[in-house]
Each structure stands twice: as C-alpha cells, then as structure tokens.
Chain A
C-alpha cells in the first residue's frame, strides 16, 4: 500500500508521449498542474477544474479522460498522451490536426488540445463515425468560438470517409 502524507512530496514518474519524465507532487496536486507547472508541458489546458469543459482531456493508459479530476500521485507509472505528442517529431501535423487546420476547426485554440485528444481516441474506438456520433462525443467539450460545426467536419474528414 502506498501512503503519502498531506505535505509530503512524492516522486511521480510518468511516460508522457513515449518519454519517461518525473517530478515531485504533494497528494493534492492536480495532474493538470503537475503537467503544466512541474513538467512545463503547457499543451494541456485548464478550463474549469471541475470536469465539465473538457479542455484538459488527455489520454491516460489508452483512455481519453479529464486530467483535472486526477491527482498526479494517482498517475505514477502510467502512460500519458497529450497534445504535444500528436505531431510528427519534425513538427508536421498529423491527419487530425491537419483536418482541424483545413476546416477552421479552431479559433482561439484553447479547447482544441482536449478535443484533439478525445477525437484521437474516439476515432480509434469508432473509425467511421457519423456526424451525430461525433457531436455526441463532442458534448463532453465546451468550445466557445467555433459553434462546433467546423470541428465536426474536421473529425469527419480525419476519419477518411
């Protein structure tokens, strides 16, 4: 059994986008804050910290989920995928990102990191979704700029249909 005292800083080691990283966290440190402030990975955005807006969605152990509802110490040893890991190493956008770019699926881009991660996993689960299924998946995200239409199109396009 692992026990960490409230003010104890515990070493947390994660695989993020295939790279082993580690840092220190008190039990109450949110995973989002760990990624951003301890790891310096600012790609994961924080929009509400109560699990509604979806901006912080990342893939943890092959599951798309809210990182604001996780504490860093819970994630020791887990494998994370964040938006930083989507593009090719040379910076070339992947198919989904390109589809977002071409369809104007992002404006301010704040919600985009989370939506890209949801959509990445969603398209693995459901490679040929229809528009309603895409919208249903998107209901777990709030985007205030686009009105969602261009996001739906981009995900549809990325599914290669």
Chain B
C-alpha cells in the first residue's frame, strides 16, 4: 500500500533496478523494510510487529561480491541480467606502455572489510503530510547532501517546494551514515499521507546496525609499475565494490570520490582504473568517514610499500622520490583533480622526525633479533574536500553524460544578517554533527565585523523552504572548511563593506580608512574617531534615507558561490572532483605477540596539512576522531555476514566499537600550505587518518609478519594464526559459495557446520526405523509440541525451544531425500519463528559395528537468520551442539527403552533442532 504512493528512487547507475524504500515482493537483504507498524508508542509497535508473520520462499543468498559475480549466481535484480550492475574502465596516459617499460611490477589483491562509524545518535525523524496545499514536512537529523532532496521529491511525486525538509540544528554524530536515511524519510512521508497524521520514527540500535548504512567492503586489486630506482611509472586499479542489495544514491560515488586523484601524492600519470559494482544480499552501502578513501589508499599505499620492499628501497624514500614537488602546485592530476597546494616531502620529513624513524628502525632490528614480530608501516595521502557534485556522473560514459545534460559544481551558501537591534545572525546549511561549525563560523564572522564571537548567533537548522540552500548543501566530504566557511566569510565581508561605507560617510573619511575593531568602526590609526558597529548596522533599518547614495537598505547578505574549478567531467573522463587537497602522512610501528596474537601499536605519528588552521581545538579533535575510526577499522570493527548473508553483528556486543583503552597514543604534527582555493586559506579536513590508519597499520603488520597477505581487521585470532602459519577462517563468515549456482531447492551452504558420531545400542535397521518414526521424533526432539506427517517424506512440526529463558516457538518443515534404507538419508528443512528463521541440511549415515551396535554419523550445515543471528551470534554454534547432543541422548534413551516400532519413516529431527533450533 505504501509502495503505491512511492516511485522507485534512481541512482547515477543507469540500470533497471527498482529501489523502493520498502520491499515489494522480494526481500533482498536482512534489514530491508517489509512492513511499517505505527502505534502510539514504540512498546506497542514492537508488540504489533510480532504479530506479523511473513511466509518467505527462500532463494540462495550471498554477502560475498565474488560469489555474486559468478556466471551462474542467483540474480538480485533479474532485469539487469547480472549482479555486476556497473562496469566502467578508464585510462589516463599510457598505462600499458608504462607497464611494458617497467623494471618491476608489483601486484596485490585483498578483501577490504565492511565497517561503519555508527553514530551514537541513530536516525530520527517526524514526517507530516498536510493538505491544501499538499505538502510533506519532515523534521530529521538528515545530514545531506541535499541533492537527495530531488530524489525524495521524485519518489513522492511532488515538486520541490512541496517537500519541506527541516534538519535539526545539532546532530549526534553522523560521519556520512545519516545520508542514507533518506529512503526512510520517503517511507515515513508516505505513511503520514496514508494515515493522515504525523509519524515519528527513532531508529533503535538493532535497526541501525542491520539496516542503516556502512562503508563499502571491497574485493580489490592493484598493480604498480616501477623503474629500478623506484619511480612509480603506472598504476592499474581493479575495484570490486560490494554495494549491497541496491545502488542507493549517491552510490556509486564511493568508488568515484578518489577517482580524479588516483595518483595520490605522486607524479605518476599513466593510470588505468576498472570499476565494478556488485549487488549482494547485504545492506546497501553509503557514505562513511573517509568515503572511498580508506579503500583507495589501501590499494595505493600498500602497493607503494610492496614496491619499496621489492626494490629494496626504504618505504619513506620511495614515497619521497615520487612526490609531487612544491613548485608544481597547483597540480593538475591525470584524472582531472587540481591540487591547490602542498609540500609532501616536508610532511614526510616531519613525520619521520617525530617518529625518530632511524631509531625506530634500529628498535625493529633489535626486536627481530630477539625473535619478536615488529613492523613499521606508513601511508601518505591527499585529503580531497568540498566535492564537485558531478564527480558521480563518471559512472556514466561521456555519451550518457552528454545526453543527460551538463552537471558541475558544488555550491556553498551562507547568510549573514544584522537585525534592527544590531544583533548578528549567521545561517549556514552545513548540518553540523559535532564538528564545531557554530564555533568556527562565529569566530570568522566576528573577526570580519570587529565583534566578539559570543555576539554572533549561528543558526544551523536547515529549512528547505526558507534557507538559502543548494544541491551540495550538507555535511560531508570535509566540506565546511573547504567551501562553506568561504561562503560565510564572503557574506560577512559584504556586511563589513557596507558598514564601512556607512561609517566612512559618517566620519568623513574614505571607506578603506575604516577598520572594524572591538565593536567599533574606526578610522585606522585614530581610534577616537569611531562609531559602534551596532549603531551603523541599525541605521540600515531605522534610517535608510541617511545611507550613502545607491546603498540598499537593510543588512541581509547571502552568498551563493561555486568554487570555480568545479567543472563538468570532460570527454576524457577527467573531472576536478574537489576544491582543496589537504595532506596526511601516517606512520605506525606495531609489535605482534606471537603467542597470543595481540597487536600493540608501539608508535603512531600523523602529520597534517590542513591549510590555515581556523580553530586549533576543532582541528585537533577532528584528527583524533578520524584516527580512532581508522584504528577501529584496522583492528576491531567489522560487519560480518555468514555464508547465508545473515548479518552477525547486530548489537554493540557483537560490533566491537573501539573504546578508550584500545586507542594507541598518537603524536600529531602540523605544517600548513594555505589553500589558494579558499578565501581563508583553509583546507577541508576531518577524514584524516580514517583514510590512512587502516593502511599504515596493515603495512606495519605486513612488515612484522613478512607477508603482504594481511586482511583487516587485525583481530587476535587472525594475527596469531598469521604469526604461526596456521589456517584461519572466521567462523560463519561469508566466503564465497552460497548463491554461486542454481542448486537443488532447499540445499544450503550454511554458516553453521558440524559433524559427529554417536554409537547406539541397536542394529542399523532398528535405528533406521526408529529414526524415521514420527512418534519417536515427537518424543525425542526437545520441545516438539506437534509433529505432522505431510507425506511419506515430508513433515511439519511446531517446536518450542528454550535455552536459559530465551524461548521461542518455531514452525518447521522437513523433507527427506536420498533415502537408502538402513544406511543413509539426507534431510532438508527450514523453519521460522519470532526470534529468527533458518534453513539447512544434514546427512545421517548408519554403520553396523557389531550386533546391536550401530555407529550413526551425522553432518550438517545450517544457516540461521533474523534477530537471533544478529544478536546471539556468539552463542549459535554452542546452542547447536547443545541441541544435537540433547537429541541423540533422547534418541539413544528411546532406543533402549522402546522396542522397535514398525511404523514409517521420518527423521527430520536433527535438522529441526538446528534450523529453528537456535534458542
């Protein structure tokens, strides 16, 4: 019903995927909305939610992009004809030629994990539909970009002025994640229209962790061509992005954000890029701190280390040899970015000094001599800020872009006004979520007007009906200090100019002789010749006739500016994707304890060029914060899916957010090359080490372990296995297989696997008959309330299972296949209940040992989803074993007590326990 009032939401990828904010007839990922319950409060709504029973017909599912790419994989969107929903290749210069000339080619491939910054405040919104005129109003903590407003109006079928978005003045963290709430906003708007009343939704943490948004996991590779003296000649990137079940706008932007700066900090000009976007049965990805940066630098900066090692050049030195030189700025990158300013070698030197690099290398040698696993890693990167809204159209071919019409730009807007009482108000549409926009805006405007910051009120609430906003408005891509602050400074300057003109006329001097200081407009060098700024400002309202000739009355200055370099992509797929390019150089030293796998970050240095620093404490806070996200991705955090695409990290006990004791000590260094692209000389910042720490740590771990085959996050078990040459596969984690082919109905490659044997006191044929006897089953399956035989080989059952007070009722269906009487049988089943659902299969084999002794061997694989998988992952394996144990104990007991019942066949039980049997 809701869907009837909503149209699908498009993206820049032109394929026939119909993305609705609610599933219509097919559910593609755990967490996809299938029903909306509206009640007086959340308690009652959750009661009602439990009354909804969904009858799913299961299809193979996978969370693994490589599996989803297989030829015979089950298609998520049949109309597309492939799970690869976007594929483009790019070439800048002559990469093939450069690879032929190369002395050394280095190649890496890896899996980059899926993680997210999980803001502490979840999504929150109130939607209200009013009639005459028909208008939706949505209050929310949406962060932008407001280009998504256009998609929302499209989905709701209304003109822009009939969808009023009002964002809160403050937001409890965002980091990109609060971009992805817009489909939910559309959904709630539609609900409000259907119900005729305002509707509120505060997302809870379980909802957030399964169904909000995350950064992209990727299956990437890179090749780098080097000359023998370490010159980086060419790069080939092969990016495979697991985009989730849908391409949710602004995706595929994550793989294009860094594209026009694919050379990183280096002079290399021959570059090839191949991008593939793969849909899988996972939550759609979206903006997350560093957006595309962590994945990009994982390619570039790990291959730089690999090149250094291959050529026996120090990793710092190989970077130094390839850096863009200070005199080359502004630097036009091969894929179109224009780097504003920088001095990369200075930053590197500073980092090496702060890290005492030579001493650190000695420490490494000493540690190694003692048999310790000690490694040093580093990463250098530019930090693009203030996005060109058009970069995402690189997803289209030049021909497609030409057809669609031009796109370019990234408007910054701001208003500075002075009311009749002389009070100053700044309005910014930057939707801050803790980045100190108010503080910095007040400071910049105060400086321009000669006032104190506490005299400036900064309004950060956005109202699309009354604010000066545009497509690029919002809080992302380090936009504030790259673009927004320039617009604020410009608007303040307009106000200042006007005040100076009025003061000049009143004081009978030239306007250029007036300065605004200490609340006054005064004649330079003659402080006693002064008038209060407040009074001059008030004059524009109270006494317009007394203003200088030709001056407009009032003081309400709005600046709408477009950074001039943000042009449309050209027909060579080059685009200036961002306004300012900061720089970060990170260096890490780690020790991995061989006996426990513990990884200790012994040293971490991070040097930043953020251009002119607008506010030291804000800049420092952003650096620490970005660092924490980067370290978390490197060491701890991951959204794990099992082989059946069930999310396993549904709570904060399973998704391991980094906490204070896990944060290593950080040494921060600064140097500044002011940006010519910004009136204040500032550059965007904030992503910082969130982009580089995963790579610096991975490089250090690789150095310690003497292998390039490391995969994040570097958890204890993984490190220990790597350090000791032991195989490691995360339990239940998605690694290929499922969905990789048309398979027999019901067959499941499960996340839970197990096998075992029991010896039973009866002959195989007795065991066989009893095993397949419905009465026996009903008796020995713990919690079996009702068992119905549907056909010879098919049963349904109601099972009530409780472990430790965690009780659930499940309805199950079990089919028997491949029966070989007295020898073996295969069971296939599925079940669902309030706490979750499952499917699986098992094989039972009987072997005659001696008279009246039979060995029963079983193996199973099962796949459990729903709440129980998301919140109880830690316990699933154990519970499975427990239930199987219970079953066979009961079975053996019955074999001893009951004497051969000759009724027919059935077994299902094992599976029943498994499938539904989580709790």
A119 to chain B, nearest CB (A): 12
By the criterion CB–CB under 8 Å, are B621 and A148 in contact?
A: no
- Select which of B173, B617, B629 is within 8 A of A108 by beta carbon: B173
B390 at the binding interface (Cβ < 8 Å)? no
A47 at the binding interface (Cβ < 8 Å)? yes
By the criterion CB–CB under 8 Å, are A108 and B172 in contact?
A: yes
Interface membership of chain A positions 139-160, coded 1 if the CB is closer than 8 angstroms to chain B and 0 otherwise: 1111111111111100000000
By the criterion CB–CB under 8 Å, are A109 and B660 in contact?
A: no
Question: Within 8 Å CB of B550, what residues of A?
Answer: none
- Select which of B174, B618, B653, B663 is within 8 A of A148 by beta carbon: B663
B823 at the binding interface (Cβ < 8 Å)? no
Stretch at the interface among B50-58, B115-123, B517-525: B115-123
B27 at the binding interface (Cβ < 8 Å)? no
Contacts A104-B618, A108-B120, A138-B659 hold; do A145 and B173 have CB atoms under 8 A apart? Answer: yes
Question: Within 8 Å CB of A143, what residues of B?
Answer: 120
- Select which of A37, A55, A152 is within 8 A of B660 by beta carbon: A152
B627 at the binding interface (Cβ < 8 Å)? yes
- Select which of B434, B618, B652, B661 is within 8 A of A48 by beta carbon: B652
Interface of A is mostly: loop
- Select which of B621, B629, B660 is within 8 A of A138 by beta carbon: B660
How many contacts between A and B, using CB within 8 angstroms? 119
Interface membership of chain A positions 105-142, coded 1 if the CB is closer than 8 angstroms to chain B and 0 otherwise: 01111110000000000000000000010111011111
Question: Within 8 Å CB of B12, what residues of A?
Answer: none
Question: Within 8 Å CB of B118, what residues of A?
Answer: 144
Complex alpha-carbon distance, A40 and B749, angstroms: 50
By the criterion CB–CB under 8 Å, are A107 and B434 in contact?
A: yes
Name the CB-closest residue of B to A143: B120
By the criterion CB–CB under 8 Å, are A150 and B620 in contact?
A: yes
Name the CB-closest residue of A to B205: A48
A11 at the binding interface (Cβ < 8 Å)? no
8 Å CB interface, B596-634 against A: 617-618, 620-621, 624-629
Complex alpha-carbon distance, A151 and B173, angstroms: 16
Complex alpha-carbon distance, A143 and B618, angstroms: 16
Complex alpha-carbon distance, A150 and B121, angstroms: 20
- B contact residues, total (Cβ < 8 Å): 38
B559 at the binding interface (Cβ < 8 Å)? no
Name the CB-closest residue of B to A30: B43
B436 at the binding interface (Cβ < 8 Å)? yes
Question: Within 8 Å CB of B173, what residues of A?
Answer: 107-108, 110, 144-145
B90 to chain A, nearest CB (A): 34
Contacts A53-B120, A55-B120, A110-B173 hold; do A144 and B657 have CB atoms under 8 A apart? Answer: yes
Contacts A49-B204, A49-B205, A108-B433 hold; do A144 and B660 have CB atoms under 8 A apart? Answer: no
By the criterion CB–CB under 8 Å, are B661 and A45 in contact?
A: no
Contacts A107-B625, A108-B171, A145-B173 hold; do A47 and B660 have CB atoms under 8 A apart? Answer: no
Q: Which one of A110, A143, A144 has the highest number of Cβ atoms from chain B below 10 Å of its Cβ?
A: A144
Complex alpha-carbon distance, A81 and B618, angstroms: 30
By the criterion CB–CB under 8 Å, are A142 and B663 in contact?
A: no
B459 at the binding interface (Cβ < 8 Å)? no
What are 28 sample pairs from A and B whose C-beta atoms fall under 8 A apart?
Answer: A26-B43, A45-B121, A47-B121, A48-B205, A49-B204, A50-B652, A52-B652, A55-B120, A107-B621, A108-B120, A111-B120, A134-B660, A138-B659, A139-B661, A141-B659, A142-B120, A142-B652, A142-B657, A144-B119, A144-B173, A144-B657, A146-B624, A146-B625, A147-B626, A147-B663, A148-B624, A150-B624, A152-B660
Question: Within 8 Å CB of B435, what residues of A?
Answer: 107
A152 to chain B, nearest CB (A): 7
A28 at the binding interface (Cβ < 8 Å)? yes
By the criterion CB–CB under 8 Å, are A149 and B666 in contact?
A: yes
Other A-B pairs, 11, CB within 8 Å; known A49-B204, A142-B659? A37-B41, A48-B205, A50-B653, A104-B618, A107-B173, A107-B433, A108-B121, A141-B660, A144-B629, A144-B657, A150-B621
Interface membership of chain B positions 774-812, coded 1 if the CB is closer than 8 angstroms to chain A and 0 otherwise: 000000000000000000000000000000000000000
Complex alpha-carbon distance, A37 and B200, angstroms: 14
- Select which of B43, B117, B618, B659 is within 8 A of A28 by beta carbon: B43
B170 at the binding interface (Cβ < 8 Å)? yes
By the criterion CB–CB under 8 Å, are A109 and B172 in contact?
A: yes
By the criterion CB–CB under 8 Å, are A135 and B171 in contact?
A: no
Name the CB-closest residue of B to A152: B660
Question: Within 8 Å CB of B624, what residues of A?
Answer: 146-150
A23 to chain B, nearest CB (A): 14
Complex alpha-carbon distance, A113 and B117, angstroms: 20
Name the CB-closest residue of B to A144: B173
Contacts A104-B620, A107-B436, A149-B666 hold; do A144 and B651 have CB atoms under 8 A apart? Answer: no
B583 at the binding interface (Cβ < 8 Å)? no
B641 at the binding interface (Cβ < 8 Å)? no
Question: Within 8 Å CB of A147, what residues of B?
Answer: 624-629, 663, 666
A105 to chain B, nearest CB (A): 9
B469 at the binding interface (Cβ < 8 Å)? no
By the criterion CB–CB under 8 Å, are B120 and A135 in contact?
A: no
By the criterion CB–CB under 8 Å, are B172 and A110 in contact?
A: yes
Question: Within 8 Å CB of B172, what residues of A?
Answer: 45, 108-110
8 Å CB interface, B31-58 against A: 41, 43
Complex alpha-carbon distance, A140 and B659, angstroms: 8
Complex alpha-carbon distance, A47 and B119, angstroms: 9
Question: Within 8 Å CB of B119, what residues of A?
Answer: 108, 110, 144
A6 to chain B, nearest CB (A): 11
B175 at the binding interface (Cβ < 8 Å)? yes
Question: Within 8 Å CB of B41, what residues of A?
Answer: 37
8 Å CB interface, B717-760 against A: none
Complex alpha-carbon distance, A103 and B624, angstroms: 12
Question: Within 8 Å CB of A138, what residues of B?
Answer: 659-661
Question: Within 8 Å CB of B625, what residues of A?
Answer: 107, 144-147
A4 to chain B, nearest CB (A): 15
Question: Within 8 Å CB of B436, what residues of A?
Answer: 107
- CB-based closest 7 A-B pairs: A108-B434, A110-B172, A107-B434, A147-B628, A147-B624, A52-B652, A138-B660
A20 to chain B, nearest CB (A): 25
- Select which of A26, A48, A55, A111 is within 8 A of B651 by beta carbon: A48
By the criterion CB–CB under 8 Å, are A104 and B621 in contact?
A: yes
Complex alpha-carbon distance, A29 and B44, angstroms: 11
Question: Within 8 Å CB of B628, what residues of A?
Answer: 144, 146-148
Complex alpha-carbon distance, A47 and B624, angstroms: 22
Question: Within 8 Å CB of B666, what residues of A?
Answer: 147, 149
Complex alpha-carbon distance, A9 and B666, angstroms: 52
By the criterion CB–CB under 8 Å, are A52 and B651 in contact?
A: yes
Complex alpha-carbon distance, A140 and B661, angstroms: 10
By the criterion CB–CB under 8 Å, are B170 and A145 in contact?
A: no
8 Å CB interface, A9-26 against B: 26
Question: Within 8 Å CB of A135, what residues of B?
Answer: 660-661
Name the CB-closest residue of B to A52: B652
By the criterion CB–CB under 8 Å, are B120 and A45 in contact?
A: yes
Question: Within 8 Å CB of B121, what residues of A?
Answer: 45, 47, 108, 110
